[in-house]
Amino acid sequence: MKPIKVGLFGLGTVGTGVVRIVEAHQEDLQKQVGSPIEIAKILVSDKHKARRFTVDADKLTEDPAEIINDPEIDVIVEVMGGIDLAKKTILSALEKGKHVVTANKDLMALHGSELLAVAAKHNCDVLYEASVAGGIPIIRTLIEGFTSDRITKIMGIVNGTTNYILTKMSQEGAAYEDVLKEAQELGYAEADPTSDVEGLDAARKMAILSTLGFRADVALEDVTVKGISGVSKEDILYAKRLGYEMKLLGIAERQDDLISVSVQPTMVKTSHPLSTVNGVFNAVYVYGEAVGETMFYGPGAGELPTATSVVADLVAVVRNLKLGVNGQRMFVPYKEKKLKTDEQIASKYFILLHVEDKAGVLAKITQVFAEHEVSLASVIQQPNEANPDAEIVIVTHDASKASMNTVLRHFEGMDVIRNIKSVYRVEG
């Protein structure tokens, strides 16, 4: 029985997992696709590097062209990361008629539409389940599972590093800087953690998810992004007192075909399932008009969870190959993208103010909210021995982003307000 030959680009954590799964599950894979699947060639940066996983040296190459130009290789699996080389490699493979499986969220968020268009032109598959939420099959679910439904909201924890940091801050009362250092030592955070902690990684994933969920071409620059580097122990403490947990949430919403997508630290009510997603785990909450609310939970990264998603895509490509339908089930956004304005984006807000400790201050503050038609759900003023100023905590009802921005600008000009300490979205 002739095997389906695969070219693997990258033999790092995920690449090693792909090789392990394909070799260990060969019997199951053959039953599913009707022929063996063979990792024929593997692109590495150094063939002579010592590796923790033994691979046939004859399969290793440092030349991408050796894989791309091999007529016996049907499928390319790209797990090397990066953008420029990966894009060049995938485009070359598609032009040669090879199908592609990738785990590259950065590439798909920035150039996914272009790659999918080239793939469609050459009747090739490009599948990318592993690019978002590791082992959680959320992409296939959005494309196939919600085909007959209309998704109105996608909300999720899609970055394990930031969730680990916020979980430790909440459970142990630790400071952000201390937990970040610990996360780096454990390998959860990179030496340069900017992409994770400033929300860029999550933003790329939300661009992909909202494109799939709303059938419109949502670009990275359409995502409003705020990271967790400004979250303090004080913020976490107030959240817990009010019955919330702090999470970095990606939130994509659609109403009357108008879309908004953001990534931001958010206070999530403890009664909401996302509030209990801790550590490096991911979860995506999807609202459909027909199905209602659903949640998908699991490991968001790691060798075998991510590799499992890659191999699942590989199986899907091979099945299509056997049926002769490659490129016919490609997802291409078909709806016009219409973004909400700040006047149309509404949510509840948490605001922590440091103010002069004297009579009449609270009345002045509530008057500003009233003037801009922002309704208040609760107002708490209490002493803080560590702060000579008074602290006022406000939670609003739903208010437009434009109104809140106007209120905050007004606060900046008020002498009685010493500091706008924190402003967070509230969910649940």
DSSP assignments along 29-76, one per residue: HHHHHSS-EEEEEEE-S-TTS--SS---GGGEES-HHHHHT-TTEEEE
Backbone angles phi, psi at 45, to 5 degrees: -80, -25
Cα end-to-end span (Å), the chain: 55
β-pairing verdict for 281-288 and 292-299? antiparallel
Distance in angstroms (rounded) separating the CA atoms of residues 346 and 338? 16
Q: Which H or E run includes 247?
A: strand 244-255
Q: What residues are paired with 395 via a beta bridge?
A: 350, 378
- CA torsion 265-190-222-90 (nearest 10°) is -150
Respond yes or no: is residue 121 known to be catalytic: no
In this structure, what token pair is assigned to residue 418?
Answer: 């010493």
DSSP-based three-state secondary structure for 189: coil
Backbone angles phi, psi at 295, to 5 degrees: -135, 140
From the list 98, 205, 226, 348, the catalytic residue is 205
Residues classed as catalytic: 205
